[in-house]
Amino acid sequence: MVVVRGREVDESYSLMHSIPALSVPTHYSDISGHANSVINLIFLGMSCAQVTHRIEPNLRRFSDHIPLIVDLSIAPENICVCRMVLKHDSEEETVFLLSVSKGLSQLNFSSLDFIASLDLLFEAISRLFADCWATYAKKITVTTWSKEW
């Protein structure tokens, strides 16, 4: 029943169910008369057709469980991410902070008697930060081979 339920999980998340190369128990009971059992399922997000793991009985030592070992290949990955940034201690960062400070000093914080007033102030602060960010932040592209910017 667990395997059926596990199969539903792996299919719904596009995971591969790992099948052991050697089918032996992975849990050894310390209780006399209790049978040893397999109580582990391994699911991996791999694109290969079949993923296998190894059960290593010789590595059990004093534990009641046997180690499960999976070999995962590490493929090179091409990274390309665009971000809006302000470089630390740059002229743009200084001007951004001065613009935000000036904008905040011009807002009216005294009439916050109603929720609507607080909502309007929140919108004004949000718009101020968004406008200053759009003006002074710089678009960068981080790639696998990027240098520190």
pLDDT of residue 82: 87
Amino acid at residue number 72:
L
pLDDT at 115: 85
What share of the chain has pLDDT > 70, as a percent? 63
Q: Give the pLDDT mean for 55-63.
A: 71
pLDDT at 7: 52
Higher pLDDT pick, 12 / 126: 126
What was the pLDDT predicted at 19?
64
With contact defined as beta carbons under 8 Å apart, do 14 and 46 qualify?
Answer: no
Angle at 130 between CA 129 and CA 132, to 5 degrees: 65
Percent of the chain with pLDDT over 90: 28
Q: What is the pLDDT of residue 125?
A: 94
pLDDT tens-place string over residues 67-124: 777 776 666 677 778 889 999 999 999 999 999 999 999 998 887 788 888 888 999 9
Averaged pLDDT score across all residues of the chain: 76
What pLDDT is stored for residue 74 in this prediction?
67
By the 8 A CB rule, do 27 and 39 touch? yes
Q: Are 84 and 146 in contact (CB under 8 A)?
A: no
